[in-house]
């Protein structure tokens, strides 16, 4: 009979578990602002606890604290807990891909019912000291079915999503990504089918080399999944660390845009709107970008006469914009037939901020305009 815990050496298991636990704790602190992030956090919490129940030393500590929780029982609880973990994954994927996904309450209720059914079906096995999931007896089939429902659903949704994206003929890089992703989850479907077919063999009471191999691989399967998933879950933390080293990106953008905003709004004070006292940095950045763009539009009639072919980059646009600002401050009459400035825009706040930050750098390099007010008149 196989021992009811992971066969991974503890010298490897403990450091990896500590990394997973650390990622989980940090994510709970810093990455819970969206529905998907909260589902990932829930899955990580469950996975971290389930993995701990498979490490032999931890099992011994738990037995000392709770005598009734034998290693076999802990292995059973770990697998039941993974049903809830995969339900979290299903919620995240279904809410991202389906128009009318099941409500979290329904999914959690189903996961709790399946987990309870798994525990009830496995109780005779555990009472006899056996390993659940891959155990010769009629219980093997329904227990495995309960265990694979949510992983199957997640894999099918992801494969279908990849097929849908590939039908849209995306760029080559995206196509390669979708093909690889589809291959990974198609492989997971095959793996789940392998475990399910094994359970039907075990349900007849037969044990052979095939079922022994399945038992060895299945009891390691979700541990390897956790190890593979942890680096992906850590990506937002790594990005946050980079931002911490470089400084808050929103605060940095505000600092970069302030000279340009102050210079432009000095000539167009009427476009500046009061900020709420509790306005966050993102709101203030959004407001600043809007006001810079509004100021540029207001200054266009004051832009000096220039060769449009020579004003194609921000380095040549910034002096013209400064001259327009100076012209308005000098009360020069506007020329509504003045040539326009071709300033690139952005599809979202981030790209718009990047463009205006580059313009702000060129603005700061400009010396007081040598172009006299009214130079736009032909």
> Tell me, what CATH number does 126's domain have?
1.20.1070
Q: Which residues contact 236 (CB under 8 A, 6 or more apart)?
A: 27, 30, 31, 37
pLDDT of residue 106: 96
Number of domains in the chain: 2
Residue at a domain's end among 198, 215, 246: 246
Helix axes 209-246, 249-265, angle to 10 degrees: 30
- 159 with 263, same domain: the answer is no
Q: Among 89-93, 131-135, 333-337, whose mean pLDDT is lowest?
A: 131-135
- 230 with 294, same domain: the answer is no
Instruction: Say how far apart CA 214 and CA 197 lie, in whole Å.
Output: 10
Asked if the structure places residue 137 within a domain, the reply is yes
Residue at a domain's end among 189, 222, 246: 246
Asked if the structure places residue 1 within a domain, the reply is no
Instruction: Say how far apart CA 12 and CA 231 lie, in whole Å.
Output: 16
Instruction: Say how far apart CA 312 and CA 147 lie, in whole Å.
Output: 61
- 349 with 276, same domain: the answer is yes
pLDDT of residue 104: 94
Asked if the structure places residue 374 within a domain, the reply is no
- 237 with 276, same domain: the answer is no
Q: Among 5-9, 273-277, 357-361, whose mean pLDDT is lowest?
A: 5-9
- 21 with 102, same domain: the answer is yes
**In this structure, what is the dihedral angle of CA atoms 255, 260, 266, 270, given to the nearest 10 degrees?**
-80
- 139 with 279, same domain: the answer is no
pLDDT mean over 264-292: 87
pLDDT mean over 167-182: 86
Residue at a domain's end among 246, 277, 304: 246
- 240 with 269, same domain: the answer is no
Asked if the structure places residue 133 within a domain, the reply is yes
Are the CB atoms for 234 and 23 separated by under 8 Å? yes
Asked if the structure places residue 205 within a domain, the reply is yes
- 90 with 239, same domain: the answer is yes
Q: What is the pTM of this model?
A: 0.65
Asked if the structure places residue 5 within a domain, the reply is no
- 208 with 83, same domain: the answer is yes
- 227 with 262, same domain: the answer is no
Burial class (CB in 10 A: 0-12, 13-18, 19+), 70: middle
Q: Residue 358: which domain range?
A: 249-365
Instruction: Say how far apart CA 176 and CA 83 lie, in whole Å.
Output: 31
pLDDT of residue 135: 65
Instruction: Say how far apart CA 308 and CA 267 lie, in whole Å.
Output: 24
- 282 with 238, same domain: the answer is no
pLDDT of residue 209: 67
pLDDT of residue 216: 62
Say yes or no to pLDDT of 4 above 50.
no
């Amino acid at each position: 009979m196989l021992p009811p815990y992971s066969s991974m050496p503890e010298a490897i298991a403990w450091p990896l578990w500590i990394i997973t636990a650390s990622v989980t704790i940090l994510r709970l602190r810093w990455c819970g602002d969206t529905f998907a992030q909260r589902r990932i956090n829930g899955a990580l919490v469950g996975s971290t606890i389930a993995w701990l129940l498979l490490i032999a030393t931890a099992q011994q500590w738990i037995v000392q604290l709770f005598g009734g929780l034998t290693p076999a029982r802990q292995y059973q609880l770990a697998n039941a807990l993974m049903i809830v973990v995969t339900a979290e994954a299903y919620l995240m994927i279904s809410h991202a891909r389906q128009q009318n996904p099941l409500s979290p309450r329904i999914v959690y209720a189903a996961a709790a019912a399946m987990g309870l059914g798994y525990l009830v079906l496995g109780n005779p096995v555990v009472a006899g000291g056996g390993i659940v999931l891959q155990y010769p007896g009629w219980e093997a089939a329904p227990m495995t079915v309960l265990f694979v429902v949510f992983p199957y659903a997640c894999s099918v949704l992801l494969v279908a999503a990849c097929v849908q994206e590939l039908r849209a003929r995306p760029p080559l890089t995206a196509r390669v990504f979708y093909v690889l992703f589809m291959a990974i989850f198609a492989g997971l479907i095959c793996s789940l089918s392998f475990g399910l077919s094994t359970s039907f063999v075990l349900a007849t009471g037969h044990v052979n080399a095939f079922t022994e191999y399945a038992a060895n691989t299945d009891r390691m399967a979700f541990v390897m999944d956790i190890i593979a998933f942890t680096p992906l879950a850590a990506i937002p933390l790594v990005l946050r660390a980079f931002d911490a080293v470089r400084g808050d990106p929103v605060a940095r953008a505000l600092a970069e845009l302030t000279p340009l905003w102050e210079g432009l709004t000095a000539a167009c004070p009427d476009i500046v709107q009061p900020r709420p006292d509790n306005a966050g940095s993102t709101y203030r950045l959004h407001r600043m970008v809007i006001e810079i763009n509004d100021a540029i539009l207001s200054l266009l009639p004051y832009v000096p006469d220039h060769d449009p072919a020579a004003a194609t980059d921000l380095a040549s646009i910034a002096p013209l914009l400064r001259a327009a600002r100076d012209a308005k401050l000098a009360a020069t009459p506007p020329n509504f037939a003045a040539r326009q400035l071709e300033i690139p825009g952005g599809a979202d706040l981030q790209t718009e901020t990047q463009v205006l930050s580059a313009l702000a750098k060129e603005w700061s390099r400009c010396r007081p305009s040598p172009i006299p007010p009214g130079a736009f008149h032909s």
